[in-house]
Structure formats: C-alpha cells, structure tokens
Amino acid sequence: MAAKLNTFFACFDKSRQVVRNVIAYGMVCMLLFAVVSCEGSKPSETDILFDEPINVPFTEISLLEACECEHWGCGWMRVNTESELVIINSDRELRRHVICAENVPVIDFSRYTLLLARGFSGNSRTPICIRLEQLSPRSYEMSLLFQLNLTHVVARWNVAIIIDRLDRNDNVTLNVTGIL
C-alpha cells in the first residue's frame, strides 16, 4: 500500500510540474502576443491629424484656356455620379478624362498633380469657394461651396486644380456643400 501511495504522489508531483510548465509557456505566449499587438497598433501617418488643417496652395485650371484649341473642341468627360474626385498623375490618365479635338493640356506631372472634381446637382455650375486643406501627412480634403438655385435645374460642374505632386498613398476626399 505504501508503494502505491508513493507512486501516486510521485505522479502527482510530475503532473504538477507539467501543469506549471504549460502555464508558464502560456503566459510567455500571451505576453509575446500582447507586445506584438501593441506594436502593431501605433498610429500611422494618416491617423495622426494636425491640430489645425493646413491650407494647400493650388492653381485652378480652365480646360478651354489650357488646351489652346482654335475651336471649342475640348471638354471634360461627363459622369453619372452626383460627385467624384479623380487624382490625375500622368498624361495617360488625363487623356481618359478629357475630350479634346486638337490638344490635351500640357502639365508637368513629374512635379504636379491634377485634382478633377466633377458631378451634377441642382445648383450652379461654378463654385463660389474652392478650398484644399491638408488634414494629416497623407490626408487632404477638397471643399467646394456652391450657391443653390431656387429652381431645381440639373447642372453639370467640373473643377480642376493643379497642386504639388501627390504620392499614390495620399488620400483626398471631396466635400461638396450648397447654400441658399
């Protein structure tokens, strides 16, 4: 009987040691996962907002003036969405958005980006205010303010601005507002 008792306690000590090892291994794994997950949750550049938005300088571009056509053969492609913003960084991309009989506008895309905002709504064709702000290192907002008409006439609008070149990782949102 004493031999059976000793065997039981001997196994009990061994099983307790195995349980301790498993618990210790589990705690090490949990700490490792906690450290790794905390490192991954550091805010990225796009998450860090500036205290105050920064006004970004731009040049508004008129397609009729920029294409230097002798005839009125240039125009922006029409869209069927209420509003959209297109970031254009190459001549090839620009040609997809321009209808031009003779010349496509010449823009140095190695230095500049063309932001094309367009759409349609029941307001005027020309915004009364255009503003571009940088909200974070990689986040921008283009705001357009339109004067609303008392009559609801569907009007198509296009706003094109040239700014310093943006990277592919930069994000630009469009904010279109109408006032009476």
74 and 133 belong to one structural domain: yes
Looking only at the bridges linking them, the beta strands covering 139-147 and 129-136 are antiparallel
pLDDT (0 to 100) of residue 88: 92
76 and 97 belong to one structural domain: yes
Looking only at the bridges linking them, the beta strands covering 171-179 and 139-147 are parallel
90 and 118 belong to one structural domain: yes
156 and 103 belong to one structural domain: yes
The sign of the CA dihedral 92, 97, 102, 105 is negative
61 and 149 belong to one structural domain: yes
Q: Is residue 91 part of a domain?
A: yes
Q: Is residue 125 part of a domain?
A: yes
5 and 66 belong to one structural domain: no
Range(s) of the domain holding residue 20: 1-42
**Would you tell me how many other CB atoms lie within 10 Å of the CB of residue 88?**
22
CA-derived radius of gyration, the chain: 31
81 or 142: which leads in pLDDT: 142
Count how many domains the chain has.
Answer: 2
pLDDT (0 to 100) of residue 50: 79
pLDDT in tens, 114-162: 999 988 776 567 778 889 999 998 899 999 888 777 766 677 888 899 9
Q: Is residue 47 part of a domain?
A: no
59 and 38 belong to one structural domain: no
